[in-house]
Homo-oligomer: A and B are copies of this chain.
Amino acid sequence: MNDSEYMALALAEAQKGVGRTSPNPPVGCVIVRDGEVVGRGFHPKAGEAHAEVFALREAGERARGATAYVTLEPCSHFGRTPPCADALIAAGVARVVVAAGDPNPQVNGRGLQKLRAAGITVETGVLETEAEAQQAGFRSLVTRGRPHVVYKYAMTLDGKVAALNEGNGPVSGPEARARVMAWRNECDAIAVGARTALLDDPQLNVRGLEGGRDPRPVLFDPEGHVPPTARAIREGTVLVLREGRAAPLEGDPRVTVLRAHSLPHALEQLAGLGISTLLLEGGPTLASAFFEAGLIDELRVFVAPKLLGAGLSPLLSPVRSMHAAQGLAVRSVDVLGNDVLIVADGRWQKAEGESSYTDSA
């Protein structure tokens, strides 16, 4: 096995913590000695030990002279736990391979410096893109003070997410819906607009996935229309009101109420709650407000092989020319059952004129 293959194991370790570690990043570590994996670990939850600590604990004396593969630069500062760089040095590790640097200003290269100063061989950038994608929420929190926002939708081959005014069956098939459950399990929060909350009354939970845990529902409900009976109301639900508004839900002890004058303001407050990844699930009105404000970081689009002929589009924003269309970078294309999944990264600039929160419901 080469460095990339061992790093892939470390990323698989990290994956076990995705959605559980915020505001910390998911991190995985694998320790290899003479071609044998002698220790594995991942960061399970903020406040608990880091990945390196678990891996070193398993490796014990075999860590001496070994190579450690870590998906994120080892920390160099005392946080809730002592610095991992120190632990690697103390264990006598000979070489450390790192996927991505830690953008946290308290680390940001200092972890690597510390290791090198102790005579450890350090290599970086192995599976960096994959690691950065896995850590997107953490990196967004640290560098931009807001969550990483993913707009997920399923559309027909003629670009419709729902029929206009008749009964709506699901657009995509069971494999696609299972994938959505996996995403819900991995994100910190799911956002829907008031219209979706009122019309569809979604549960926004994880179903049919062993070991799954529910993300926090975030209801963008500027005017305070969502009733306490909504199925998405549970311990941890966040209600985002326009500034100065009152809502029937305010007395509910399960609900955290935020007031925002704009979407960026709302996202800043969600970051303050430790929400690092936000999955936009509906509807087009809310997504369009995010789109107009340049706040969609990633798209996950299922294209279902059916033709509807007329219906609701994924975005409802004002007309632009094709020249002004926002360009994306395709990250992956996969076939799931009968559906095609396209994942793309946003790379746009902020649109002229910040969208008012007024538009979003």
Complex alpha-carbon distance, A159 and B158, angstroms:
6
> Is A318 part of the binding interface, using a Cβ–Cβ cutoff of 8 Å?
yes
Judged by a CB distance under 8 angstroms, whether A157 is at the interface is yes
Contact check, A321 vs B288: say whether CB atoms are below 8 A apart: no
A285-303 contacts to B (CB < 8 Å): 288, 291-292, 296, 299, 301, 303
Which B residues touch A159, using CB under 8 A? 155, 158-160, 313-314
Instruction: Jot down 5 A-B pairs with beta carbons below 8 A, ordered by A.
Output: A307-B325, A307-B328, A309-B326, A310-B317, A333-B333
Shortest Cβ distance from residue A318 to the other chain B in the assembled complex, whole angstroms: 6
Bound-state Cα–Cα, A318 to B288, Å: 24
Number of A interface residues in the complex (CB < 8 A): 54
Asked if B162 and A322 sit within 8 Å, CB to CB, the answer is yes
Interface residue A166 (Cβ < 8 Å from any Cβ of B): yes
Give the chain B neighbours of A156 by CB distance below 8 A.
322, 325
A163 at the interface (CB under 8 A from B): yes
Which one of B288, B311, B319, B335 contacts A165 once the chains associate, using CB atoms below 8 Å?
Answer: B319
- Inside 8 A of A335's CB, which chain B residues have their CB? 330, 333
The CA of A26 and the CA of B291, in the complex, are separated in Å by 48
Nearest CB of chain B from residue A167's CB, rounded to whole Å:
5
With a cutoff of 8 Å between Cβ atoms, the chain B residues found around residue A291 in the complex are: 307, 309
Contact with B along A140-180 (1 / 0, CB 8 A): 00000000000000011111101111111111000000000
